[in-house]
Amino acid sequence: MKTMKEGSSVMRVACLGVGYFAQFHYEAWRRVERAHLVGACDRDRNKADATGLAAFIELGTMLETAKPDLLDIVTPPPTHFDAIERAIAGGVKAIICQKPFCTSLEEATKATDLAEAAGVTLVIHENFRFQPWYRSIRQALDSNLLGDLLQFTFRLRAGDGQGPRAYLDRQPYFQQMPRLLIHETGVHWIDTFRYLLGEPEAVYADLRRLNPAIKGEDAGYFIFDYAGGVRALFDGNRLLDHAAENCRTTLGEALVEGTQGTLTLSGDGTVRLRAFGEQKEKVLLAARQWQGFGGDCVGNLINHVIDGLLDGKPLENRARDYLKVIAIEQAIYDSDRLGQKIREFASA
């Protein structure tokens, strides 16, 4: 990666995109002491102006004028490759790119190759592994609180997918996505399962569309096989909800089961531990009013990247590693199409 100038302690950051989810990025960046926002770019000038930053409608102009050290790409996949290519040519030192990363494994690999050849750090904004409940679960697993792990189950119950107006109030493009449940949402748990359990050996999937108002799938499941009989199950249904004041806090509920205990994740972000054979539970992570989105996972990822760039700490979700997520996603769709378990994933 390109290094910061000697003695530099603040990164100049510019953002591309001012859509729905971008609000969480701008808010989080404003809380980072070692980052300074220098520009916002969107083809809708009014949206860019509304950020209160130097506003641009053309990426090249922003790169030339604002001279950011880091570009945060918060736009849809079809824009990613061009934005990454232009940012590299514009002299940035680092790029954060939203998921889904590019439009295909081939395009994502090409973008990764370009960044590495230029010495530019490219990190994918896959933020669910940075949610505090998954950090808490990881700590419990590392501390062997469950004995031998046997199963991880996550039930996605977003509760926003019913009727002809599904998704229109917040992210209307969801209705037109040919692949929805896994490509847009389930991908979070592909990465989270990898973070918590490692690389799967095989995958089986069964997907379906329940709401005729949309193009893609909105329900189904995938199962990951691991060595020793360990399995991870993602059970998703966007039409159903779960017990939570805000279903978007965790988007569902989880069970992490081992020979000596079970962890539960509730819809408010609480993580509880119950020892095997017992009824009482111990709270490992208590619910609270989380800042930002999903336990402030956007802010947590952003701070992680800044610490990595300025302090040399190891970075998670580098683009090269994230290619494995895209390959597994492709295997999930292949499994559903073929009706069989997939044991070999596309080269990443």
| pLDDT tens-digit readout, 116-152 | 999 999 999 999 999 999 999 999 999 999 999 999 9
Fold of 129-286+326-338: Dihydrodipicolinate Reductase; domain 2 (3.30.360)
**Domain assignments of the chain as residue spans, ordered by start:** 11-125+298-317, 129-286+326-338
Residue 319 near residue 117, CB atoms below 8 Å? no
Query: How many alpha carbons lie under 13 Å from residue 310 in its C-beta half-sphere?
Result: 18
What three-state secondary structure class fits 223? strand
CA distance 317 to 314: 10
Whole-prediction pTM = 0.94
Is residue 336's pLDDT more than 80? yes
pLDDT for position 5:
43
Average pLDDT over residues 184-188: 96
CA distance 94 to 71: 7
Tokens of 41: 């770019």
Is residue 318's pLDDT more than 70? yes
Three-class DSSP labels, 46-99: HHHHHCCCCEECCHHHHHHHHCCCEEEECCCHHHHHHHHHHHHHCCCCEEEEEC
User: φ, ψ for residue 255 (rounded to 5)?
Assistant: -125, 130
CATH superfamily of 11-125+298-317: NAD(P)-binding Rossmann-like Domain (3.40.50.720)
Residues 60-88: pLDDT tens digits? 999 999 999 999 999 999 999 999 999 99
What phi-psi label fits residue 341: left (phi over 0), alpha (psi between -120 and 50 degrees) or beta? Answer: beta
Q: Do domains 11-125+298-317 and 129-286+326-338 have the same CATH topology?
A: no
pLDDT for position 6:
42
Query: Locate tokens 């993580």: which residue?
Result: 271
